[in-house]
Structure 1
């Protein structure tokens, strides 16, 4: 049935979203509509490491929904600090978790929750 899935964030300000997800977080635009040179984009698809996500322009501002994005990063503390300089708000600062990851919870400039995580040790053995 399902071959793949990916999130699409609806935002009221595409340039601000690109400044956060492309420029600050390092996503790579792999598709834009309309194509470059034919007007401001109303939809972009970003490569985000081994996954992808879309960003779609909406006519009216939407309140944040029940979406949370989880990003594995190389350094949770550094990325948290970097993204706060680009409009993110820290909900939970970086902390070591008992399952072997360091995580932080932030929101993007639109209120969407993002968990940042990095492995700090091997995961515990499953019983």
Structure 2
């Protein structure tokens, strides 16, 4: 038996604002863009990792309006799901690309006491994103 992660959802308040962060900043590829019933889901693929996707959508996509509103408040406060942790083989280049895109820097690259060298950002919706040197 094998098992693998197929996709991971990230809630954003504005899908259009999130696209440059994930596509241009992190270097992910748009593999699907679906609109349905007033909502939108954009799937990003990871180069070299076929079958794995990150899906961004608005808070009420697939949720009740009340649940979506509560999730939105948590994300904006920085208390939503996450942090979302990505690994990169060039932390400095990825960090500079994200900083140049205007992303909010939470932590510049540093060596952590528990091992990895990492950095942190907020995406345009307020999600906490960490980058580890692979």
Q: TM-score range by the shorter chain?
A: 0.7 to 0.9
- The Cα of 1:92 is off from its aligned counterpart by 1.8
Q: Which has the higher helix share?
A: 2
TM-score by length of 1: 0.73
CA distance in 2, matches of 1:4, 1:94: 27
Contact 1:33–1:44 (Cα < 8 Å) also in 2: yes
TM-score of the pair, normalised by structure 2: 0.69
**Which stretch shows the higher mean deviation, 108-117 or 53-62?**
53-62
**Structure 2 residue aligned with 1:104:** 119
Which range moved further: 77-86 or 106-115?
77-86
Q: CA RMSD in A?
A: 2.7
Q: Which runs of 5+ in 2 are unaligned?
A: 61-67
Confirm or deny: 8 A CA contact 2:120 2:131 kept in the other structure. yes
* Corresponding residue number in structure 2 for 1:7: 8
* Alignment coverage as a number of residue pairs: 114
Structure 1 gap segments, 5+ residues each: 120-127
